[in-house]
Amino acid sequence: MVGARIRRAGRMLHRRVRVAGLGLRRVPRGRRAVPTRFARNGAVEIAYDVRGQGPPLVLIQGLGVGRWGWEPVVDRLARRFRVITVDNRGIGASGAPVGSYSTRVMAEDVVAVMDDAGVGSASVVGTSLGGMVAQELALTHPERVDRLVLVATIPGGRLTAPMPLKTAYLLTWAPLMRSEQRLRGFVEHNLGPRTLRRRPRVARRLMARKLAHPQAERAWRAQATAGVLFNPLGRQRRITQPTLILQGTADQVVNPANAEILAGLLPDARLRYFDGAGHLVYWDEPRRFVRVVSHFLADRAVSLSVREQRLRRVS
């Protein structure tokens, strides 16, 4: 019996050494490597992956963030949907052509991905710059979009409420900052203050993912140009698909007032605020994000409180 205990203790110690001492990581249960696929829009390859079964759902990320940005929510969404995550041109495994980009061209990239994946139409979730791309997709290819979820994004042009001053300052001086300063600024501006204060591990994880997936500065500028030039001139009034607008009230990247402006433009829009959440609401509150989005896409009545039903302008 003593020998058996010693052998069991030895095996446990061996496993701990393998995981901790040699820098190996235990893979969390339910997390599997998903193969990268490639679609082609002209000469540009667009990387994407597919996971889960069910109604198709396309996820489009924002400026400077690749497919990895959906990490907190993608596996949960894949329990109910066939989830397609895309690396926008200029980041991740996608091509990064020289020159400026446009949200219209990036929307065509998404169409190429859908074609390659054999998806005729899908619900689409777009965040920040990805929300602008999603709007372009709904305007130029309405038959490809079933439902729309716009997260922390803008209406474009003169309709857009001004960017918060802190972020405008950061973007202006970013080229002159050391890389670690820019990274810290990215994390602190994208997460809500409550998350930064109470769950610093989330900030560390976001910082680690950003470090592990660097982006060329010229590609970042090309993506940023697409966002700056986005201006549908109020044509969102033509988007008839049911649309859910999600916005963190503590967003320091996109002025929260833009959510109300978008809700006023879109004919069939619902607006929901995440109190205290920052720009990356799905990192701040991943479980709630998945619950709200899943209910909306499943065509259930989204249970809103009286306070959340009221369209509020948040400065």
Taken in order 183, 125, 199, 79, is the CA torsion positive or negative?
Answer: negative
pLDDT in tens, 173-193: 555 445 676 777 788 889 999
Strand partners of residue 150: 126, 245
- Say yes or no to pLDDT of 17 above 60: no
pLDDT in tens, 256-271: 999 999 999 999 999 9
Q: Which of 225, 248, 274, 287 is nearest to 64 (CA)?
A: 225
pLDDT in tens, 124-141: 999 999 999 999 999 999
Task: Read off the DSSP letter of residue 49.
Answer: E
Read off the pLDDT of each residue in 282-288 and give the average, rounded to a whole number.
98
Beta-sheet strand order (sheet of 44-51): 37-41, 44-51, 82-86, 56-60, 122-127, 145-151, 243-248, 269-274
In angstroms, rounded to a whole number, what is the distance separating the alpha carbons of residues 70 and 247?
A: 16
Q: Which pLDDT belongs to residue 217?
A: 87
pLDDT in tens, 160-173: 999 877 777 666 65
- Say yes or no to pLDDT of 234 above 80: yes
Read off the pLDDT of each residue in 193-205 and give the average, rounded to a whole number.
95
- Say yes or no to pLDDT of 78 above 80: yes
Q: Which of 79, 71, 74 is nearest to 53 (CA)?
A: 79
Whose tokens are 């044509």? That residue is 235
Strand partners of residue 81: none
In angstroms, rounded to a whole number, what is the distance separating the alpha carbons of residues 101 and 249?
A: 29
> Given pLDDT bands bounded at 50, 70 and 90, which one contains residue 9?
very low
Q: Which of 166, 189, 162 is nearest to 313 (CA)?
A: 162
Read off the pLDDT of each residue in 8-36 and give the average, rounded to a whole number.
43
Q: Which pLDDT belongs to residue 48?
A: 98
> Given pLDDT bands bounded at 50, 70 and 90, which one contains residue 308?
very low
Q: Which pLDDT belongs to residue 32?
A: 61
Read off the pLDDT of each residue in 96-102 and give the average, rounded to a whole number.
95
SS (H, E, C) 191-248: CCHHHHHHCHHHHHHHHHHHHHCCCCHHHHHHHHHHHHHCCCCCHHHHCCCCEEEEEE
> Given pLDDT bands bounded at 50, 70 and 90, which one contains residue 255?
very high
Structural domains of the chain sorted by starting position, each given as residue range(s) with its CATH number in brackets: 1-31 (no CATH), 35-309 (3.40.50.1820)
Q: Are strands 122-127 and 145-151 parallel, antiparallel or unpaired?
A: parallel
Taken in order 197, 201, 206, 211, is the CA torsion positive or negative?
Answer: positive
Read off the pLDDT of each residue in 106-116 and give the average, rounded to a whole number.
98
Average predicted confidence (pLDDT) for the chain: 85
Q: Which of 91, 79, 38 is nearest to 55 (CA)?
A: 79
Strand partners of residue 51: 83
- Percentage, residues of the chain above pLDDT 70: 80
Q: Which pLDDT belongs to residue 189?
A: 87
Q: Which pLDDT belongs to residue 187?
A: 85
pTM for the structure as a whole = 0.84
Interaxial angle between packed helices 179-190 and 200-212, expressed in degrees from 0 to 180 and rounded to the nearest 10: 130
pLDDT in tens, 24-37: 233 333 356 789 99
